[in-house]
């Protein structure tokens, strides 16, 4: 395919340089965004009397035909084209003749590709958000079914205090809802129109950027033409948001991996979301969770690569920015498949409440409640803390737990202990007394579930 910039050059571009420079192999996925932007541009050019209404009609009909043929598979991409922009323009000119050559008036590939990437980012932002909402809903349904399921809560991966499985799962709802909020904020900044900035210095044609903004549903017009073509903050911001999504998925993946071990046995993965071993017939491996954990590093790498690409670039556009596409495409694809398989895995996982409760009994996770018991009877907390520490030491030495000590043993440490200590250290009582806002009791979890439901309903409005 002839180059659109052939006029300046006497020599053919070297074949290897052509291959190295071309982006059609990956930016072809932007064809719909490219055509959508071109239709809006042509509409504005005609309304501003920069091209004729007749040419506008030919251009728009031609572009719609190309879009339809690409979607149906009737038209194949020309892999000798330099990029998606040149492919669409060349195909348009081939179909409608001279009018096709007028489409690029008052436009550069610099502002065109910036527009395409913003349109793509907004579209994928919405799809990732929908996938996140689906996963939040799955987690909240699991939480709803486990509001009284007792399990040990951990700090430092050491048993700490009693919580419910619902509380634990809702913690991930909180993380993923923050991800949804971040993507929403990112979308606002992404919807800043670059088209009309041209190469870097705008144009002498009397264009109407506000009209294009409205046609494409953008919030603002980029106020500085140099920044408009040189800005890839929106790509970096979305990559950062996607990296945080993967952080949260990876943390839950790690817990599922731990919980499904024979040592924990808090949960069991469905056969459809696990794999076996080629040599050990007894194995049931959490490969899905492990792959999510592993692919997190991949998304982090895309973020770091994009930050590195942009860190030393002078204004305005530089070819380095071509690297943004594969990095964002890969991150989006990775996050979407991870969210999809994670949702399926969680919908089929089997939790084992009896094992959770038995494990909770062993870890002295009611020790704080024992100290609180003394504090509520007038003892300073630090004094109570030390006394309960000594009681725990006694239990460990004698193979006991707080619920199996006798009242006489308790009284040997403090006369403040009475018969009601046994209710105070009952794990289910300890759990349900934690009614503070955001806590693990059924009452507190119910309020958290309401917040999640409200959030999801707002997204669907």
Give the CA diameter of the chain.
Answer: 101
3-class SS of residue 381: helix
Q: Report d(CA 427, CA 111) in Å as an integer.
A: 62
Q: Does residue 156 have an active-site annotation?
A: yes
| Identified catalytic residue from 72, 156, 272, 406 | 156
Helix axes 287-310, 233-259, angle to 10 degrees: 160
Proportion of the chain in helix, strand, coil states, percent, rounded to 5: 65, 5, 30
Q: Report d(CA 184, CA 241) in Å as an integer.
A: 10
Q: Does residue 277 have an active-site annotation?
A: yes
Contacts (Cβ under 8 Å, ≥6 apart) of 218: 118, 191, 192, 193, 212
Cis peptide before 316 (omega within 30 of 0): yes
- Its sign, for the CA torsion 385, 390, 394, 399, is positive
Q: Report d(CA 458, CA 332) in Å as an integer.
A: 24
The DSSP annotation for 86-127 comes to HHHHHHHHHHHGGGGGGTTTT--HHHHHHHHHHHHHHHHHHH
| Identified catalytic residue from 277, 403, 436, 446 | 277
Distances (CA, A) of 181 to 11, 186, 269, 338, 458: 52, 9, 30, 19, 12
The catalytic residues are 156, 277
């Amino acid at each position: 395919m002839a180059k659109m910039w052939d006029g300046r050059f006497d020599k053919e571009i070297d074949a290897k340089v052509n291959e190295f420079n071309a982006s059609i192999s990956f930016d072809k996925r932007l064809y719909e965004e490219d055509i959508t932007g071109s239709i809006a541009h042509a509409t504005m050019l005609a309304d501003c009397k920069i091209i004729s209404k007749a040419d506008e009609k030919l251009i728009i009909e031609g572009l719609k035909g190309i879009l339809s043929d690409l979607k149906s598979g009737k038209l194949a991409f020309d892999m000798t084209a330099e990029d998606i922009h040149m492919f669409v323009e060349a195909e348009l000119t081939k179909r409608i003749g001279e009018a096709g050559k007028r489409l690029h008036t008052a436009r550069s590939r610099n502002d065109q590709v910036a527009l395409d990437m913003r349109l793509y980012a907004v579209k994928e932002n919405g799809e990732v958000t929908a996938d996140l909402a689906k996963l939040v809903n799955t987690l909240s349904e699991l939480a709803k079914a486990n509001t009284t399921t007792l399990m040990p809560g951990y700090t430092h991966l050491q048993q700490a205090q009693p919580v419910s499985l619902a509380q634990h799962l809702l913690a991930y709802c909180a993380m993923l809802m923050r991800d949804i909020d971040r993507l929403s904020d990112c979308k606002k900044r992404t919807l800043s129109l670059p088209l009309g900035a041209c190469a870097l210095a705008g144009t002498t044609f009397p264009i109407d950027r506000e009209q294009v903004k409205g046609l494409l549903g953008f919030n603002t017009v980029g106020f500085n033409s140099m920044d408009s073509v040189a800005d890839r903050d929106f790509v970096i911001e979305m990559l950062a948001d996607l990296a945080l999504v993967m952080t949260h998925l990876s943390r839950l993946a790690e817990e599922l991996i731990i919980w499904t071990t024979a040592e924990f046995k808090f949960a069991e993965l469905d056969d459809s979301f696990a794999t076996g071993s080629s040599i050990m017939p007894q194995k049931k491996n959490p490969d899905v969770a492990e792959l999510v954990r592993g692919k997190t590093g991949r998304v982090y790498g895309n973020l770091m690569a994009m930050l590195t690409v942009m860190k030393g670039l002078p204004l305005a556009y530089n070819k380095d920015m071509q690297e943004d596409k594969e990095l964002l495409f890969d991150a989006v694809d990775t996050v979407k498949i991870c969210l999809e398989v994670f949702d399926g895995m969680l919908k089929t996982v089997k939790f084992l409440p009896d094992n959770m409760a038995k494990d909770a009994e062993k870890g002295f996770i009611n020790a704080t409640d024992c100290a609180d018991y003394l504090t509520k009877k007038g003892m300073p907390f630090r004094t109570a803390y030390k006394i309960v520490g000594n009681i725990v030491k006694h239990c460990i030495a004698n193979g006991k737990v707080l619920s199996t000590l006798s009242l006489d043993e308790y009284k040997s440490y403090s006369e403040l202990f009475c018969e009601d200590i046994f209710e105070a250290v009952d794990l289910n009582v300890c759990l349900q007394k934690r009614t503070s806002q955001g806590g693990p009791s059924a009452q507190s979890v119910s309020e958290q579930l309401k917040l999640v439901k409200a959030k999801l309903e707002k997204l669907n409005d």
